[in-house]
Chain A
Amino acid sequence: MIIIITPDEFKRVSQATREDGRAPDEIRPLKIEAGILERADGSSYLELGGNKILVAVYGPREAQIKRLQRPDRAVIRCRYNMAPFSVEERKRPGPDRRSVEISKITAEALRPALILERFPRSVIDVFIEVLEAEGGTRCAGITAASVALADAGMPMKDMVVACAAGKVNGRIVLDLSEEEDKRGEADMPVAILPRNKEITLLQSDGNLTQEEFEEALDLAIKGCLKINKIQKEALKKKYGE
């Protein structure tokens, strides 16, 4: 009998499963709960693998800063913040380059879904707190924020749902974990409006060929649709269905 010993790296590719035993098109275990904060207008809590995210929505409320007001619509403000204890090495508290960027792209990903014309001259505040981070927090944040907005009773054209796809060990995989993101060749977060699959966010970090890009995009959209089902369930569950 011949025993072929393959190095770890090759084994992973041939086994068709990933480091944590997931299939290439499988997302991490996901749990969403809506309306968990008493004093916020809307809130949600999300767990995706090792990610733990809390979102609070306040508003629509009167804009305290007059120059922010728009006469024809409401304004959405986002703040994405990582708790100092959310990562292995203590993170210095306060906003940094990364969190400022994510706050901005989150607001922009959510805006197309909201019917902001209903509340002229008001603001909506979305606070995304990352309590524990394990890769893919910006996507998880957008997914949770959209549940919190719906919970706040904000009129919306659709939910917003985000999921990342990327390339690890030469393979296109869904929902990268922190480890895969670090070792992998590319990471591509995508946010969509699931009904008509309109893209509201698309970032890409790393190198992908055109074919790989298209494959990753299709996979990410597939993942989004799966997550959307759980989002809907979370909202319906709050009112006992």
Chain B
Amino acid sequence: MILVKDKDIVVPGEVLAKNDYYPGRGTFKEDNKICSSHVGLVSIRNKQISVIPLVSKYIPKRGDVVIGEITDIRFSMWGLDINSPYSGFLPASEVFGKEKRGLENIFNIGDVLFLKVVDVDEVKKVKLGLKGRGLGKFKGGVLVYITPSKVPRLIGKRGSMINMIKEKTRCDIVVGQNGVVWVKGDPEMEKVAREVILMIDREAHTSGLTDRVRDTLTELIKKVKG
């Protein structure tokens, strides 16, 4: 027996279904009731019910690409804030060979890097790496923070949404899976891109978003060009 519809907004503790359904992400089973554990949208896929959270925190996973800011320099590693309950570290060996001197000459506190999560161990120590295509330090630009669970919406189907924003604003945009977005371009266009990204974050759960984003973009760009 099902008590909710697809795409309904539910709150924690709400009973979604009884018997013959399976609990998916964002839900749990109690006796034979399936309940929501988040504020989110219901998604039903062949007898499996899950709740997509409307807000969430980023939990680091091996293989993710993230954007982090350096907050600490130690003897042989950098400490980074990756917009998560757990901070990350970048070992000096990722950058140079054997000698480990002058870490602050390479990256200093406040620098923003594009990194890969190499490993997350049992004690939630997040090891980061710089080996890979496009990874490294950002020069200039602004950071925009969104909810990590909305990153797929910002990118869109095969990058449709993000490519549209890139094209229209002529900005370089990099999205980290931790919900940090780096934008660089013309200062006025950076503002437009920021506005639009925050709009997607706010309205990610509504339908017909791509069209609305396109309209807002055109409008904002017209205003800038004036």
Which A positions have Cβ atoms within 8 angstroms of B?
41-42, 59-62, 71, 74, 113, 115, 119-122, 150-153, 155-159, 193-196, 231-232, 235-236, 239-241
Cβ B85 vs Cβ A60 within 8 A: yes
User: Nearest Cβ distance between residue B74 and chain A, in whole angstroms?
Assistant: 16
Interface residues of B in 34-52 (CB under 8 A from A): 35, 37-39
Cβ B13 vs Cβ A158 within 8 A: yes
- Docked Cα-Cα span, A83 to B86, in Å, equals 33
Report 28 cross-chain contacts, Cβ distance below 8 Å, ordered by A residue.
Answer: A60-B57, A62-B86, A62-B87, A113-B12, A113-B13, A115-B28, A121-B85, A121-B86, A121-B124, A150-B12, A150-B38, A150-B39, A151-B39, A151-B55, A152-B55, A153-B55, A153-B147, A155-B12, A155-B38, A156-B37, A157-B12, A157-B35, A159-B11, A193-B13, A194-B13, A195-B13, A235-B11, A241-B9
Cβ A120 vs Cβ B53 within 8 A: no
6 nearest interchain CB pairs?
A: A158-B13, A153-B55, A156-B12, A122-B85, A60-B85, A155-B37
From A59, A60, A157, A239, contact of B37 by CB (8 A): A157
- Docked Cα-Cα span, A55 to B39, in Å, equals 18
Cβ B39 vs Cβ A71 within 8 A: no
Cβ A157 vs Cβ B53 within 8 A: no
Task: Kindly list chain B residues whose C-beta atoms are within 8 Å of the C-beta of A61.
Answer: 85
CB-based A-B contact count at 8 angstroms: 80
Cβ A159 vs Cβ B86 within 8 A: no
User: Nearest Cβ distance between residue A19 and chain B, in whole angstroms?
Assistant: 35
Closest to B122 in A: A71
- Docked Cα-Cα span, A156 to B26, in Å, equals 10
Task: Kindly list chain A residues whose C-beta atoms are within 8 Å of the C-beta of B38.
Answer: 150, 153, 155-156
- Docked Cα-Cα span, A236 to B11, in Å, equals 7
- Docked Cα-Cα span, A113 to B39, in Å, equals 14
Interface membership of B14, Cβ < 8 A:
yes
- Docked Cα-Cα span, A155 to B206, in Å, equals 22
Task: Kindly list chain B residues whose C-beta atoms are within 8 Å of the C-beta of A193.
Answer: 13
